[in-house]
Amino acid sequence: MNLFPETVATDDKVSQLFKTSNALDKKATPLIKVQKIEVIKKTDKDADGDEKMEDAASDDAKVKKPSKKKLAKKNKETKTPEQVPEEPEKLVEEGKESKKSTKEDEIEKASRTIFVGNLSNEVIISKSTYKLFQKLFNNIDDDDENKKLPIQSIRFRSVSFEDALPRKVAFVQQKLHKSRASVNAYIVYKEQSPLLNKLIKRLNGQVFSNRHLRVDSITHPAPHDKQRSVFVGNLDFEEDEESLWKHFGACGSIEYVRIVRDPKTNMGKGFAYVQFNELQSVSKALLLNEKPMISQNEHLKKRKLRVTRCKNIRKVEPTLKSGKYMTDGQKTKLGRAKKILNKAERSKLLKELTVEGIRATKDDSKPVLKKGKKERSKTGRVTKRSQAFKKSQQKK
């Protein structure tokens, strides 16, 4: 069927209308002739031929991928010595060495770090108080200001915050808890000096910002002597160390006061330890048993304290892990920094401890524990009887 007519002629009446009108005498343009459109159907053979042509063109366009063996050969030829990857064993060894170096740095850092407890939180709030605190621990002697130990950093810990914010945010905004007026600090010095022990002895128990400071070493902390200490119970959870300093101050000179606190909330657990410098002060402190203590916090009520002697702890047989068989050099290197090392590293440290530049001494020998039973004495009563019995048997 024809989709369109063969020809379309213009109408003569239309041209006559243009003649009679006032417009220009122009004939109407004839319409465009439209030719027939023939739809050619492809046969199955032609379609197969076109598909084969398209497949051939696509095959030519594709690049042939080389095999894995050829790629490996090319990579070996083109690789320079710098591009060759390192062996995994070497990488593991380098990682271990870097970990060892960081742990050794932490141990060395602990030897020049001191602990300051019962510090007023005004150090955080006031810049002038912070400068006075920094100056106090810079000077070794009060008389000679030239003798100074440069401080590397000061870190504040055991800070109680009022709002449940991230610690860094609350510290910057200084939103501290009102019932907790004391904090702890760690002071790291730039250089290790033997004068640090002198500084610790001089500043321990000194009053700064109306509070008695507790200054101690990290590597060589003051030992707990139960004969010079008393146990204090029935304390309020919000009680402060300064209240105990003033309550037991009349009994004698105090070495330190320690309230046992919860590590997460920084609140007390209801008991404390007070250690005196002299043994006679303990008997005076025991007289304060079941007597009320006036707290420094005004909102806390008076509480009758339970004051007793420190109980004898069951003795454990000494081992290499305890400090009895360790030299002073080993104690210095371990100290409280042993938390950084694991069990295997601590055992290696005890065996392979060498410090360059220090003369060898008698105490530097490796500690050895005697295993098994003791040797039988040659001059004992049992040996004499056994020898006499053997001689009598030989004569018979």
CA distance linking residue 250 with residue 274, whole number of Å: 13
Task: Tell me which CATH homologous superfamily contains domain 225-313.
Answer: RRM (RNA recognition motif) domain (3.30.70.330)
Across residues 126-151, what is the average pLDDT?
83
Tell me the per-residue pLDDT of 60-85, one tens digit each, with 9 for 90 and over.
Answer: 544 555 666 666 666 655 544 444 44
Residue 22 scores a pLDDT above 70: no
What pLDDT does residue 161 have?
A: 75
Q: Which residue spans of the chain are classified as CATH 3.30.70.330?
A: 225-313
> Whole-angstrom Cα distance, residue 236 to residue 268?
7
Q: What angle do CA 284, 115, 235 make, to 5 degrees?
A: 40
Give me the mean pLDDT over the 228-233 stretch: 94
Q: Write the CB contacts of 120 (distance below 8 Å, at least 6 apart in sequence).
A: 129, 181, 182, 183, 208, 209, 210, 211
- Band of residue 7 on the pLDDT scale cut at 50, 70, 90: very low
Q: What is the pLDDT of residue 132?
A: 93
Least confident window among 76-80, 91-95, 102-106, 282-286: 76-80
Q: Enter the pTM of the model.
A: 0.57
What is the pLDDT, as a whole number, of residue 362? 58
Strands of the sheet containing 268-276, edge to edge, are 254-261, 268-276, 229-233, 306-309
DSSP string, 121-152: THHHH-HHHHHHHHHHHHBS-SS-SS-B--EE
**pLDDT per residue over 155-178, tens digit each?**
988 887 777 777 777 777 777 777
For residue 162, give Cα distances in angstroms to 67, 154, 187, 211, 265: 69, 23, 25, 22, 11
Give yes or no for residue 21 having a pLDDT over 60: no
Q: What is the pLDDT of residue 365?
A: 55
